Structure 1
Amino acid sequence: MPRTPRDPEGRMPLRDHLVEVRKRVVRIALGLLAGAVLGWILYDPLLAALVQPLQEAAARRGALIGLNFDGVATAIDMRVKVSLFLGVLVSSPWWLYQVFAFVNPGLTRSERRYVYGFLFAAVPMFLAGAGLAWYVLPYVVQVLNDFVPEGSSNLVGAQLYLSFVMRLILACGIAFLVPVFMVVLNLMGTVRARTWLAGWRWAILVSFLFSAIVTPTMDVLSMFAIAGPICALYFIATGICFLHDRRVDRRRVAPVG
């Protein structure tokens, strides 16, 4: 098969680059499907783990707290959603690689060298964000159930609860990818560290707004548990960008020969 012609800097023509969209989307879908099959098989222990914070809250308060499947098709609907949720988590290395592979041909050789690090950093960062959400989840459920009056029961709709849990975990995983993109854009020479630092107020504001959306509790502690690490990662990424900019600036002013 003839190789796709490239320009002198190694870029693939835009038309051929866009042709890959369908291939990458299909591969991502197949990866999600494979993960969803695993989620379907492991549905019972996965559902038990997701419901455990409710059981702990019920034991703590001595009240009836649990899921309510309030529709004929709710159980099968939630099994499909939970299976897809696990599919997204399990196949995260695969779909992140497909995103990287799609962008890679459109970059120059020098840009491609820097972006290789994206794949190795993105997967653990995504999983770290999901892990943080999982760690905070029992506390969030506990705080929300503390508002239930004594002697009352709290049968939470399965759709509402599981959608909230899955949204929290996936949103935190995606949020932890932001520092990776920051560093990659800096290494490619697109955004300098001073630009990231100049937007630190907006970064903190957006982090706390994001935390307020994904953790709808009224206490400050749960908001800081999510927003704090995100803000810290923003400044760590900015520091890495400053170190890179300093090295670049030194090479530019160094005498030749």
Structure 2
Amino acid sequence: MNQIGQPEEEPGMSFLDHLEELRWHLIRAVLAVVIAATIAFFLKSFIFDVILFGPSKGNFWSYNMLCRLSNFFGVDGGFCFEEFPFTIQSRTMGGQFSAHIWTSITAGFIIAFPFIMYEFWKFVAPAMHESERKHAKGFIFVTSILFFIGVIFGYYVVTPLSINFLGKYKVSEIVLNEFDLSDYIGLVRTTVIASGLIFELPILIYFLTKIGLVTPKFLITYRKYALVIVLILSAVITPPDIVSQIIVAVPILILYEVSIIISKLIFKREIEIKS
């Protein structure tokens, strides 16, 4: 820290120097993804047979739990079954190899996520005050935990609900459900990654509040609109029953409320610093 309380920076750091620094952080992050993806590439049987194709089997853990939950509430959610009425196939010459490559990259990104956040933190930390760095020491841990919780939620909740609905949906008994491998994996991959990123909402609100783009009043004012959006989203990605919609909507609404609390704390701290 210098005498006027500004964060210290390395002397002589120009805009191009910062770009060079960013480039090396990105290179290290990408290298971490590549290494993790390479490991995932050689774990093909486990990743595909156990993880990816797990939600396509009737004995998957989530379906058993949702079946019990549906029975408890006395509703028919369509979760009690032995197998799905669809098959997964590859219709292109390089379809399976392409799926193997992209799945490995996705797995590499998920595994290397904490290191990616570490490199991001190392890049932005020098621009922060010492007090800010002190309060944000748990950034990597909290960000990674939220991301992994989101990935687990997407895999064990959102993905099974989506596959259960889309896998059984028919416009006519004449039409057979024979899904392409890339479509199935794309659904699982997109759902899992999107859920992981959605669970980063409190972190996003933290930074947006610090730079003044979001205030607690703004979040509270538009809470009702956020509720409507979440309910619509949960209705779109889940079967048309209230139990499934609540299962998806509740965690996201909790994240929104946590984001409001975080915004209040940061907003109050920023006012105290300025005063």
Fold-level similarity (TM above 0.5) = yes
Change (3 A) 1:216 1:60: closer
User: 1:161 aligned to 2:184?
Assistant: yes
Identity of aligned residues (%): 22
| Structure 1 residue 63, shift from structure 2 partner | 6.0
Distance in 2 (CA, whole Å) between partners of 1:142 and 1:78 is 22
| Structure 1 residue 142, shift from structure 2 partner | 1.6
Distance in 1 (CA, whole Å) between partners of 2:98 and 2:112 is 21
User: Considering only aligned residues, what root-mean-square deviation do their CA atoms show, in Å?
Assistant: 3.2
Compute the TM-score of the two structures, normalised by the length of structure 1. 0.80
Change (3 A) 1:24 1:246: closer
Q: Partner letter of residue 251 of structure 2?
A: P
| Structure 1 residue 81, shift from structure 2 partner | 1.0
Q: Partner letter of residue 53 of structure 1?
A: P
| Structure 1 residue 55, shift from structure 2 partner | 2.5
User: Would the aligned equivalents of 1:28 and 1:94 in 2 still touch at CA under 8 Å?
Assistant: yes
Q: Partner letter of residue 100 of structure 2?
A: R
User: Would the aligned equivalents of 1:63 and 1:153 in 2 still touch at CA under 8 Å?
Assistant: no
Superposition map of 1:100-115 within 5 A = 100-115=121-136
User: Would the aligned equivalents of 2:150 and 2:198 in 1 still touch at CA under 8 Å?
Assistant: yes
Distance in 1 (CA, whole Å) between partners of 2:269 and 2:253 is 25
Q: Among residues 150, 153, 162, which one is paired with 1:132 in the alignment?
A: 153
User: 1:120 aligned to 2:141?
Assistant: yes
Q: Partner letter of residue 196 of structure 1?
A: L
1:237 aligns with 259
2:219 aligns with 196
Q: Among residues 165, 178, 182, which one is paired with 1:143 in the alignment?
A: 165
1:228 aligns with 250
Distance in 2 (CA, whole Å) between partners of 1:251 and 1:133 is 39
Q: Among residues 184, 193, 209, which one is paired with 1:170 in the alignment?
A: 193
1:53 aligns with 55
| Cα deviation digits, residues 147-188 of structure 1 (max 9, x gap) | 2466864221101110011000000100111112223554x4
Distance in 2 (CA, whole Å) between partners of 1:68 and 1:251 is 60
Count residues in correspondence: 245
Q: Partner letter of residue 89 of structure 2?
A: N
Distance in 2 (CA, whole Å) between partners of 1:36 and 1:212 is 34
| Structure 1 residue 14, shift from structure 2 partner | 5.7
2:203 aligns with 180
Change (3 A) 1:21 1:206: farther
Change (3 A) 1:53 1:189: closer
Distance in 1 (CA, whole Å) between partners of 2:194 and 2:90 is 25
| Structure 1 residue 243, shift from structure 2 partner | 4.8
Change (3 A) 1:18 1:217: farther
Distance in 1 (CA, whole Å) between partners of 2:167 and 2:206 is 40
SS state at 1:165 partner: helix
1:4 aligns with none
2:101 aligns with 80
